[in-house]
Chain A
Amino acid sequence: MQPSAEHVHWLFATGFLILGLCLLGEAIVGSEVWRRRWWRAHLWPGILFLMGLLMWPVMTFYTNSTVHMLAHGSWAEVLTLAGGVELALVRGKLSSPWWRLTMALAFLVSGSGLLIHEQNGWLFQRSSFLHHLMGWTLVVGAVVPVARCIRPRSVAVGSTFALTVVVIAVYLYCDRDLAPVFGHLSPLAGVQHR
């Protein structure tokens, strides 16, 4: 008994939304204020690490094709790695700010995974369009974590980083068929497929 793909996408979309909102909060009030409470300092890196761990069951249970299994596996690895590095930076186990480049690596690997596992054109269908959009957003957006390494106190860079994550959450909410939960919104949607 597996949850449907829609629900899994929405679960991760919710995770990214919370992550993005936390990052936005930190960007607006500044890291010094945000990290006054120890739990708040650990909040978004912990969520990221947890999302990485939760991606492992997705890899092992959704094996309807090799390419999907590999894509989910690569996302599990980079999310866990990026979350782990951010936690280590917060705890002081790692000190060099260049470790934040693992976030850029996570963006690049996740974006490449999306683009490689979607082999249809942009307008083939909605999920193809969204996979391309998410893939290119992450690949191009990888410059934002790099900028965050160089200008860690910049409100503009911090906000852009947070909004990139929020945008990914919105894409993920839209990525799957809405029909099984909300009913068909349009006759164009065709026959319910699940």
Chain B
Amino acid sequence: MKPVALVVLAALAFPSAASAHATLQRTGPSFRERVQVAPRTVWLRFDQAVKPLPNSIVVYTSRGRIVSAPAHRGKDAYRVAAGLRSLAADAYTVRWHVISGDGHVVSGVYTFGVRTAAPPPTEAYGASGPTRAEHVVRWLYFVALALLVGGLGFRVLVLRAPLPPRADRRFYLVTGIGAVATLQVGIVAFLLRAEDALQLPFGRFLYGDLSPIAGGTRFGEAFIAMTLGFALVTALLFLSWLTDRTAFLWPAFLLGLGFASGLSLSGHSAADAGSSWKSELADWVHLSAACIWIGGLVQLALVVLPLAPAVRRTAFLRFSTVATVLIALLLAAGTYLSILRLPHLHDLWTTGYGHVLLVKLGLVALALAWGGLHRLIAVPAVARGGDGLFARLPRSVLGESLAGMAVLLAAAVLVDSRPPPRPVSPPPSASQPSR
């Protein structure tokens, strides 16, 4: 027993130099650095001694040609380096693997540019995607966002009156599912994107360095901000349920809307040619309006119509008014973004992006027709005091919300697709007289 106790005490008492597997601390050139003079070597510095392999550092040009020599130990045991051929102006991808002090192979990828801007690691040479799984995950993210932000929006904009206990519980259940799913699906989406960039088998992906993707790409920064933001929103939603104070729902709603902008600030509307603050704003308005509309329909169908008879008339009529404004915003922002991304009408049927947009427009038309029927038939009947309609209305409203979720699926594929390149305006001709 004594030797065991001694080992335990020694292990607890003595500081150890190596505390986990190796972590990349510095590189030369650094992540996404644009250098004017072509470097002669690439070096990596870790926080502990590592063992290099011959293929520890492989540097690719943007066309996939290898320009690095076999890797070797650097100045000390913490560094690995590889010589480079004479590099032309281009973007370069560095893929690295070293054996950590604990015996694990740690891996990573980053980019740098010689007299040119380096792409984010998600667009490094060899990166793939987005895959079908990523389309589904993005769609689930949109649905979760609609349940959360739409549910909160419904409660603060449409239904301020207290709900019966059963309806109240279901409101928190549906919105809570949205909150938890937003966090979980966000993590899965980030890992899938990282896997596309790292291109590692699962066992090695577990030890892949995700920091260039988390800190060096718009997507990664949006992931960090949105995860933290929605964790806070979830906490506020929980506090509202815990204390029976709906006052917590206002900051939760506003924060949820604010952090949803992470998608707009990291997607096509922010990164593609021609993007500006107007395209980012339009994208955010488009997404927010869709979330509040679809999430509101779900609340109406699952919470208010079946479980809150005292407030269902008011809620239905008020939501109908709010939904009209939301649809107007949705269509205005969507039309602006479509014109921005598809400069020519024929792009709709000649490009893949246009095909997906056509499918989306078809589904939008279906959802709008469904909503129009509610507006033209159900709203006047409910306003006249016809209670008989409430028996069939939940199913019909749920149908409209499902049509809206189908629109979100098309939107998920659209977000992962690349819009056609914008036409480049020709430079002014030399023979043209200057004015």
By a beta-carbon cutoff of 8 Å, the part of chain A in contact with chain B is 5, 49, 53, 56-57, 59-61, 63-69, 73, 76-77, 80, 84, 87-88, 91, 93, 119-120, 123-130, 174-179, 184-186, 188-194
Contact = CB atoms under 8 A, between A and B. Distances in A.
Given A65-B209, A67-B207, A127 B16 contact: yes
B21 interface: yes
A129 B18 CA distance: 12
Interface string B176-191: 0000000100010001
Interface residues of B, number: 46
Given A93-B242, A126-B11, A65 B16 contact: no
A193 B208 contact: no
B207 A65 contact: yes
Interface stretch (B57-65, B101-109, B408-416): B101-109
A162 B17 CA distance: 32
Interface in B189-223: 191, 194, 205-211, 213-215, 223
A194 B15 contact: no
**Complex A-B, nearest 10 residue pairs according to Cβ-Cβ distance, in ascending order:** A190-B17, A126-B16, A63-B210, A63-B214, A56-B231, A67-B206, A189-B15, A64-B23, A60-B224, A129-B11
B14 A66 contact: no
Given A66-B210, A73-B187, A60 B19 contact: no
27 contacts: A5-B19, A49-B235, A57-B228, A59-B227, A60-B224, A63-B211, A64-B23, A65-B106, A65-B208, A65-B210, A76-B231, A77-B183, A88-B242, A93-B241, A125-B16, A126-B11, A126-B12, A126-B14, A126-B15, A126-B16, A127-B16, A177-B17, A179-B15, A185-B14, A190-B16, A192-B17, A193-B18
A185 B12 CA distance: 12
B370 interface: no
B48 interface: yes
Contact of B242 (A69, A87, A191): A87
Contacts, number: 115
Interface string B8-40: 000111111111110110000000000000000
B228 A127 contact: no
A125 B19 contact: yes
A177 B16 contact: yes
Interface of B: 7, 11-21, 23-24, 47-48, 102-104, 106, 183, 187, 191, 194, 205-211, 213-215, 223-224, 227-228, 231-232, 234-235, 238, 241-243
A126 B18 CA distance: 8
B17 A193 contact: yes
Contacts of B12: 126, 130, 174
Contacts of B24: 64
A186 B231 CA distance: 42
Contacts of A123: 7, 11
B23 to A, nearest CB: 4
Contacts of B183: 77
Nearest to B204: A66
A185 B16 CA distance: 10
B14 A186 contact: yes
A53 B16 contact: no
Contacts of B211: 63-64
A129 B15 CA distance: 12
A52 to B, nearest CB: 9
Contacts of B214: 60-61, 63
